[in-house]
Chain A
Amino acid sequence: MAECGRVDSNTSSHTMDKSITLPPDEIFRNMENAKRFAIDIGGSLTKLAYYSTVQHKVAKVRSFDHSTKEAAGDKLYEIAVQEEVTARLHFIKFENAYIETCLDFIKDHLVNTETKVIKATGGGAHKFKELIERKLGLKVDKEDEMTCLIKGCNFVLKNIPHEAFVYAKHADSEFRFQTTNPDIFPYLLVNIGSGVSIVKVESEDKFERIGGSSIGGGTFWGLGALLTKTKRFDELLQLASKGQHSSVDMLVKDIYGGSYACLGLTGDLIASSFGKSATADKEFSDEDMAKSLLHMISNDIGQLACLYAKLHNLSRVYFGGFFIRGHPVTMHTITYSINFFTKGEVQALFLRHEGYLGAIGAFLKGAEEDNPNQYSWGENYAGSSGLMSVSPDMNPMQRARSGTFPFDMLEMDRLDRQLVNLPLLQDPSSYIPDTVDLTEDAQAREYWLSCFEEALDGVVKRAVASQPDIPEAAERAEKFRQKYLHKLQTLRHQPFAYGSLTVRSLLDTREHCLNEFNFPDPYSKIKERENDIALKYYEKAVKSLEELSWEDRQFALVRGVLAGNVFDWGAKAVSEVLESNPEFGFEEAKRRLEDRPWLVDSFDQWLERLKGPPHRCALFFVDNSGVDIILGVMPFVRELLSRGTEVVLASNSGPALNDVTNSELQILTERIAAMDPVIDSALREDRLTLVQNGSSSPCLDLSRLDKVLAMLVRERQTDLVIIEGMGRAIHTNYYAMLSCESLKMAVIKNSWLADRLGGKLFSVVFKYEVPAGAGKPH
């Protein structure tokens, strides 16, 4: 059974406070455009879901008409900040006690009148049916609980990276997030509500309840309330965490005096739960009994789950339900039980958004005509609260005193593009984009959190400067600062809040927060200026390269890419130089580069390779605009084209720092084509193709790339992947294994990271790899 039908009288201990005012900026956001509601009412928590559209400022790059180029003066292109409407899913979780307050708020803010129905699920849905219908004037349409749960589960597993995790109480980091496996089926979902349901899920629409047990959360709660003076579920768990079960349980050593060695049963193993309470003539403490009860129930559920997993030959077992929901105590005991019964063969998996599954599923049921499963969705870090935002241990009285009531949110943005794996990953299921997991590496975490905190002033300044004509920009920028600072503080205490903490996630969170406050592209002006300057030097740069001997040229081209990559506003060391010395030039950058041998140096192998036959097609993930793309990357691309290699240039779909976006790159390439017949003919003959990568991040997740890019890669029989820049080739993908040749090029522009890798500032990583087993190409 999924959810306990109703909560007992303890709801009265925190009856609704009508004086509570809801902060509209924070909860039920974008209610004006909301449509398609769904609600999941459980034993104690309500989860509300709605679909809304968000008006966003986006920077659109527009080329000037070439025929009237003269008239446009010096300007390269025009950047217009436009309003764009994007789709967003909102999910809010709050205690049932506040349901009326929330419904009133929704009624007051709901403008959309097309909405007629609200999808509802969960054990409490019937109890509040009348209230919802009266308050909102929407018809409550009930959906099957289990169906919703499974639908929701499929959705989060598919769309949210790091959704599932393994819990390890005594490890360095308690949460070990799982990489997203493109193939999520089949799996077992063990839902521990008042009872237990064990469901085997084989595909999007095919699932089966293969078993269950009546010993579940309700048994813990019910027996706990009978045995102890504690009557609330959360408090019973707290009680249990303080107890010693060995005073109540009969252990193997109580019977054997030690272990039962020939069966491999250790002395501490529980032989009989509550076995001592039958014989000992003594009183047992509430804590000890609660602990014994918790072990008894967790072990029993774990054992059954293992038996079912074995019978159906399933190795992925997810646990959910109110017994698990955010409670480290039960995650620990369930994990322990699974490890014991399967001897480590099966891992107990938990979900970050487990509490939302029913609401997500109910929502999806109602939104089927919008085909939400056709799109890719992304977790919005700015609008989501993160794991354990509301501590389940917090006392309700404490909560009441905090002013508003506690709630937890999840927001997901519909992505314009469908995202898929790069077909050239050696093993998609074991691919991890990020090089360092800051959740596990405390030292690195501390450094990067401070680093991002220190850089915040600069980002705020940049954001304000990017909108000089808008007077309230400063105020918005300040809000952005507060928001991001708050995120950083949260992550300091709960590094696991959004899955594995990585440099990438810190960067992405910053981008999400900037977008949230309508700073879609703070670097647009800088990028434009730098592109403009760099273009002026293009012909000269190409000419001087052509004068070199073949071998010298190959080296100069690589140095060019590396020197270009020094121009990076995202890197602290460089942004300071660029800020103070606008004249900082390409030649200066080359001088700063480390001399060979580089920190990682396989240039000789690369050169050898170039002496062989040309590659069929190279996929180049580019980095910064300006000097980097124009004077570094383009000449390199030009050489590849001249060798007879087709080139696919992959750039960001949306802005991030000073990274070149696809729309900018279109214009830049046209301009270069006008100067350079090699580029021009390649463009026209389709040997040079520009694609977007589907992301707006300074880093690169090769498991979430634009579907069009993936198709192109396959069609062109791509046999070389080039990844450039610190964000894409060092923070991420440094260890990525590809099934074809790959080249990772970056300059380390961060002294701490340089230290870590054993180099120094401006050390060079030039990593050319040929997959093991591949024969020498010539």
Chain B
Amino acid sequence: MPGKLKAKIVAGRHLPVMDRASDLTDAFVEVKFGNTTFKTDVYPKSLNPQWNSEWFKFEVDDEDLQDEPLQITVLDHDTYSANDAIGKVYIDIDPLLCSEAATVISGWLPIYDTIHGIRGEINVLVKVDLFNDLNRFRQSSCGVKFFCTTSIPRCYRAIMVHGFVEELVVNEDPEYQWIDRIRTPRASNEARQRLIFLMSGELQRKIGLKVLEMGGNAVVGYLQCFDLEGESGLVVRAIGTACTLEKISSTLPATATHPSNSSPSKDMKDSPQAAPSTLGCRSTHSSPVHSASSRLSQGFSVSVPTLLFAGMGSGGSAGKEGGPLKALLRQQTQSALEQREYPFFTLAAFPPGFLLHVGGVVSARSVKLLDRIHNPALGNTRSYKLLDWNSFTADEPETRDAWWEEIRQEIKSHAKALGCHAVVGYSESTSICEEVCILSASGTAAILSSRFMQDGPLDTEHRFEEVVSPGCGFCHIPYDELNIPFPAQLTYCYCCRRYKVPDVLFTTIDLPTEANVTGKGCLIQARLCRTKKKAQGEGNATVISNLLPFLEYELHTQLMNKLKLRGMNALFGLRIQISVGETMLLGLASATGVYLTALPSPGGIQIAGKTPSDITYEQHISNMQKKINDTIAKNKELYEINPPEVVEEIIGSPIPEPRQRSRLFRSQSESSDEVSELDLSHGKKDAFVLEIDDTDAVEDIHALLTDSPTPAGFYSCNTEIMPGIQNWTSAIQMFTSVRVFRLNANLTNQGLNKIFSDLCENLLKSLYFKLRSMVPCCLCHLNFTVAIPEDELIQVAVTAVAMSFDKEQLLENGKQSGEKTLIKAITENDEQLQFNLELNAETSAPNPLSSPKGLSEVGSHLSARASSVDYSSFADRCSSWIEQLKLKAHTIRRGSVKTTSSMEKASPLPEGRSRSLRSNRSYSGSSVAVVKMTPLSFIPGAKIIKYLGIINMFFIRETTSLREEGGVSGFLHTFIAEVFAMVRAHVAALGGNAVVSYSMKECVFMENPNKNQAQCLINVSGDAVMFVRESELESTSVQTQSATTHTSNGAEGT
């Protein structure tokens, strides 16, 4: 009995009128947890009732605390008939179970009804008293911290990264139970909401158990998804990366922790030489279509220049050439990793030095036929049961676990083939249409340093012994160049000139902060739409599996071409989404293109015709060629891509010819008049030559050229940070935009493609227009989700954040590229700042191996002049930063001391907190605390001082008066606004003032305009945090201290 949950209902406001006669409401509240229910008194005839109830106490197992939400129902008392429900509030108790997160939930929370939306607000106080449970066999995992953030959270340090954790839970979908025919839509929606709450609570608990088993204390990059499989059930699954995190004690002198870091040259010297590595993508599709009676299995692999697929067998070659030390290290790391079932990491950004080499994107898809999930626990009191790996026996039918296992194995073997022992930036997704389900997984094959690894050979003291070549190391190929399984073009790294790099690099991770980048990045999207025949069951699955490889191939070709068109050579944050409908397949690949300084300059795009005799045809081709060349030149200017000219040497590249060509082309592209003279086609079909005589190519070229450039002052990316922009202002605007497009029947593939592409383009244009007041600004973390909700509908949803930046400083930066890294370093979080010397070394010698002897040596292109100046300024900033840290440490401590004494006073006056929170912010005078939301893991110009817990909310909204609510747009607009409002309110109640790593993972919209009905499901998640403005930190210490004290007072009161 290790927990006591206490709840107090304070007051309500803005309640709806429930009694027409009096225009008032007689409201009371039911507070339910598990099977226990308490009620408040009826507060008669008021729309702003003051219940001020006693403390309702629930004595429960911590297992239940983790699984169950606290359910608050507001009702209208009716003497003669049944009480009418006004609405409900579900409160996730989880943040209160972790000592480092929130300690009290207190504030105004919207009362939500699935039919009417938000109906007033209720003020509640919730606390938990936890007792220590020493039972070894306990089923709870209280205290394990969960983070959606896909990097090490800002105020923590990673002691250990344990690795992949996954779990899934299945149940029948209440919407499809027989009882649904006789109950009201409201009851059905509420059953569903509650079930998903329970299931995600249980899922989180089980994952927590696994983490504890591994010896960790946190899950980072926690990604939870729902599969609404309709008749066959409901699956809630989650993946994450188990870590041991330590809160950074801010007083610690930043540099002291990592002494070995202070000599970059030492790091360099024992870097043997390139180990492994590769570019490109590997991908397979397997479709063991499964049905009750028969099993049909289809596996196939694609091998094309962009979609690198190799024969097996390169896995073992990885460490071969490494120096003895390195080889040893690698072996140890590898064995450590290989012991794991899946050496996967959902992280997309890493502590410095963790990510050594990046291979390329690995992905796997599989087409499955859904049938009823075998669920022996049906009929139990809790009517759902985890299908556990271990309990899985041979005579049970295949389960979702087995499906995912298959895919993960596939991914693992792909990574191996790329000479990598780990997969980073890993994610999984599904697309379901009727009974067909496409399961997808993708990640980036990589080689990781053994430090942070649990069973790595080195303890924390020595973890920096591993080789670090900051700016370019991760680009070096992780595999044996003699065994390249595909025709890749290798060159020596343009930074260090010692190791081989590929010509193009695709990854699913964020751009490493230490990477050397030339110019700026931009969002690159490949969009594809393919019609497919209507089919049923197995036939349908087969058709889909047959289409998939082509879809993927074309997406990659498009990506590659668009990348070249922008004069860039690497993609980060690549996310390929394939969505299946009854008559079509949609593919959307989004990534952020950049020019990695370490990689060779990309060649241009050549157009070749097959019938050279025709003069008008030639003319046409050369016109198109010219257009393309002009675009490339324009783009290079736009994204400020002017790589330092490097004296090129002849390198033992397997295919020297195309290399030369690309070089030739590069010099030509500046004077594009003579391009037509270059005969570059050679009849060799690779990614850079588009043969124009098939219609596909025409279409491709069209698609290439129709992408309109972003308007002046705008940049866009789908990663956390935009290379080349660091000086963010505090102005941020998170938004969600959804569009549904109705197609005409009988469209050709090309027509569809065009429509789909235009849809995305127009959506982007609308966003730029909407956000024009924020210019200069960058749309970061642009996350597109496509779906085919109905036969002729395409739905595109975008969530992103627009962030303003300072233009003047930007220009300065452009001129003095040396300073870029510095500013970047400053804006980085505390953890990275601890590596200041490392960063510093990088700044002063971006090309460390060409000038290994010291900072002063001239020879790199970034002049030594700049570095000597920057050195001191960096030190200055660093020391001032440490000052801030110290200051903050004081204030925080002071705050928490005060807390204990002042809480009794604070609790009856919940507004007091929000008022004092408010005083912290720029907007004063408003009675609602401002809560920022962002899909990024940080807030520009602010320090996250506390993580308050994960926000994971699921809402259903339904209407039977669609027209009256403003049609589909009005309905969805209101719903999304309501979801935002509820997220903000819950964050504020936890004592936070922002949500980071926010994402809308699900937005399922269904309509039936003829019946005037619509339904929508939204699932959102993120991390609730408390932040303090850096400007406030810098302002006079007295003020800051008092402000912070106030904040933590309210938040930490117990």
Are A and B interaction partners?
A: no
Interface residues, chain A, CB within 8 Å of chain B?
Answer: none
Interface residues, chain B, CB within 8 Å of chain A?
Answer: none
